[in-house]
Amino acid sequence: MIAEGPGEPSRPREARAMTEQEQQIDWDPRSEEVQRDQIAAYDDMRRGCPVAHSPYGNWSVFRHADVVRILDDPATFSNVVSTHLSVPNGMDPPEHTPFREINDRYFTPAEMAAFEPACREIARDLVTALPRGEVELMADLAADFANHVQCRFMGWPESLREPLREWTLKNQEATLALDRTAMAAVAVEFDGYIREQLEVRRSAGPAAPADTTTRLLAETADGRALTDEEIVSLVRNWTVGELGTIAASVGIIVHYLATNPEVQGLLREDTGRIEAATDEILRMHAPLIANRRRTTAPVTIAGREIPAGERVMVLWASANRDEDVFGDPDEFRLDRDPADNLLYGRGVHVCPGAPLARLELRVLLEELLAGTTDLAPVPGKEPVRAAYPGSGFSWLPLRVV
């Protein structure tokens, strides 16, 4: 769970006349050229066209300063980007406030400390079961870890893990293809899984398990109980972030350690630096490409005039590599100002699950480094990068010793 805010890349445009500037297409984030190396393509756009209009009706913003301006002004750059309910991601204050307060109760330091033993058990078991020799890290570790942790955090039965794994693949395929019919179908499918878990707990009454899902049934906002639709939306946002972004993060981090043995050695010697190192690695290679905002008034960014009601894509994968802030964006450093790193967003919509994400990544890396002696690339086998709007790797062969 990396950044609060929907990440769907496009929408149908309203029937109205387009200005000459709107008709100008600056880039296509789905083009073959961009897909060959998304990070390098964003670097080029940031330097040459820091605000770019795409064929999908979105304005992509690449520079750190411009992204910070957007994040610090939720009144002008709204998170309400869809007609579908999205709790709390797709809300603005004051509506956002009580739902965000509910959300944050589940990610306090005390909650994270209580969940750490379960998270560590999952990580240790998966690392122990990981084959030695050549592995495909995304399937053999990253995706399984995210799936196990989400089910344990929510209190869901083991029987739900396989449906969630299949659902994640269908969701990714539909989003990649921009197939709105399929996207709607997978959303309905997911809602069914969650509603079933809610009904199981209601039927159990006092015998319901004391887990996160049961606790959500007792939550209230503005003096009333949450509706099932609100609970399902909240859980959907948690789950999409967990199953997609955490798996991508694991792949990015482990690939970096495998291809940078000096950093791997540093963290093997000093595990206390793992959290700072994961933040820095994910700054260089973002696990989440972008999130959307909607302009509530005409704005000018980097000389581009953007009308009210337009979709603006906040490009985390570019802003966190801005040379004006970070110098050489590929230089691994642990002495940077954490406030500059937008990995978990910023402002009122800062990532609601950041404490859990940091806990998971730290614990998994601790167990992986403790349970192995070396992580290395497989000679002659290049990883396959994930396609927009995904990030990281879709196939990652590594050698585990």
Choosing among 2.130.10.10, 1.25.40.420, 3.40.50.2020, 1.10.630.10, the CATH entry for 20-400 is 1.10.630.10
pLDDT at 318: 98
DSSP line for 156-175:
--GGGHHHHHHHHHHHHHHH
pLDDT of residue 358: 97
Contact 150, 243 (CB under 8 A): yes
- DSSP character for 307? -
pLDDT (0 to 100) of residue 23:
61
Q: State the pTM of this model.
A: 0.92
Q: Rounded to whole angstroms, what are the CA distances from 283 to 14, 315, 319, 336?
A: 35, 12, 9, 11
DSSP for 187-222 reads HHHHHHHHHHHHHHHHHHGGGS-SSHHHHHHT-EET
| pLDDT at residue number 177 | 82
Q: Would you write out the chain's pLDDT as a tens digit for each of its 401 residues?
A: 445 544 433 333 333 344 544 468 999 999 999 999 999 999 999 999 999 999 999 999 999 999 999 999 999 999 999 888 999 999 999 999 999 999 999 999 999 999 999 999 999 999 999 999 999 999 999 999 999 999 999 999 999 999 998 988 888 888 888 888 998 898 899 999 999 999 999 999 999 999 999 999 999 999 999 999 999 999 999 998 788 899 999 999 999 999 999 999 999 999 999 999 999 999 999 999 999 999 999 999 999 999 999 999 999 999 999 999 999 999 999 999 999 999 999 999 999 999 999 999 999 999 999 999 999 999 999 999 999 888 999 999 999 99
pLDDT at position 12, please? Answer: 36
The Cα–Cα gap between 343 and 346 comes to 9
pLDDT on residue 3 = 53
pLDDT at 240: 84
Ramachandran angles phi, psi of 126, nearest 5°: -70, -40
